[in-house]
Structure 1
Amino acid sequence: MKILLPVDGSELSLEAVRFVLRMAQDGLQINVVLANVQEPANLYEVLVAHDPELINRVSAQAGLHALTAAKELLDAAKISYEREVAKGDPAHTIVDIAERFECELIVMGARGASALRSAMLGSVSNEVLHASGVPVIIVKPPEEVLAE
């Protein structure tokens, strides 16, 4: 089964990675696409940087950095993966990545580093759930995280 794992580097997004690892330990044959979506530069960033290529490089580096902890978990479990760093609206870009890589399932955290944005504009995971053509598993944070 080909699974898309969108992560933003937060501990909560890593819960989705751990969930997929448990699925593999239980015997599910998986192929993973590890993805990070960077939001487009805002007007201030464009005005300050003056160089669109610089913004693209910084965005790509930030995306690769956000994948680091998830890559370490997958490497330790000897799970092979493809990776993708994209730029755009997070929910729709996640759905596009799933379609492009022909993923059969999306597994993602309930909320991540952009919790404030999600609270104000609607949950990315909720948008993916409604827009995706494949099943979506939303992994909630552990109880101890909810209690904090």
Structure 2
Amino acid sequence: MHILVPIDGTDLSLDAVRFAIRLAHDGLQAHLLLANVQTPATLYELVKAPNPEVIEQISTAAGSHALEKAQALLHAAGVPHHTEVVTGDPVPALLDLIELKRCAMVVMGGHGKSLLRTVLEGSVSHDLLQASPVPVLIVKPPQAD
């Protein structure tokens, strides 16, 4: 089973990785796909860039950097995984990965926003939950003691 774990570089996305590790250690036969979505270059960046390939290289490097801590957790836990860095709007890009990589599930961090705040600000986890063809497990932030 392939499980998509979107990583945005926040501690909340690392909480989702830790939860996915627990699933694997509890016996779920899973191969994790860590994915980072980079926003497309702006028109200004495209005009000012000496070479569009430079923008792509910088974007890929930023995505790879965002994945490093999650990869370290998975290496230490011995959980099989691979990574993808893609460019685009987060929800459609993640939906494309679900289909392309035949993911059976998504495990992602939730920011713990109220419903009103989600409506006003938007939420990738909420939007993906609504649009995903596969189950989406949203890992809540840990409770402060």
TM-score (norm 2): 0.89
Q: Which amino acid aligns with 2:54?
A: L
Whole-Å Cα distance in 1 between the matches of residues 86 and 121 of structure 2? 20
1:143 match: secondary structure: coil
C-alpha displacement at 1:121, in angstroms? 4.5
1:67 match: secondary structure: helix
Q: Deviations over 1:51-71 (max 9, x none)?
A: 211110000000000000000
Whole-Å Cα distance in 2 between the matches of residues 121 and 44 of structure 1? 25
Q: Which amino acid aligns with 1:43?
A: L
Whole-Å Cα distance in 1 between the matches of residues 84 and 119 of structure 2? 26
Aligned residue number for residue 128 of structure 2: 128
What CA RMSD, in Å, does the superposition of the two structures yield over aligned residues? Answer: 1.9
Q: Which amino acid aligns with 2:95?
A: V
**Is it true that 1:53 corresponds to 2:57 in the alignment?**
no
C-alpha displacement at 1:43, in angstroms? 2.6
Q: What are structure 1's unaligned runs of at least 5 residues?
A: 112-117
TM superposition outliers: structure 1 runs of 4+ over 2 Å: 43-51, 118-121
Of stretches 46-55 and 58-67 in structure 1, the one that deviates more from structure 2 is 46-55
Aligned residue number for residue 106 of structure 1: 106
Aligned residue number for residue 5 of structure 2: 5
Whole-Å Cα distance in 2 between the matches of residues 82 and 74 of structure 1? 10
Distance 1:121 1:46, change over 3 A: farther
C-alpha displacement at 1:15, in angstroms? 0.5
C-alpha displacement at 1:44, in angstroms? 3.0
Q: Deviations over 1:9-42 (max 9, x none)?
A: 1111100000101111211111111111001012
Aligned residue number for residue 115 of structure 2: none
Matched residue count: 140
The 5-angstrom pairing of residues 6-45 of structure 1 reads: 6-45=6-45
C-alpha displacement at 1:120, in angstroms? 5.5
Q: Which amino acid aligns with 2:27?
A: G
C-alpha displacement at 1:73, in angstroms? 0.4
Aligned residue number for residue 115 of structure 1: none
Whole-Å Cα distance in 2 between the matches of residues 47 and 141 of structure 1? 40
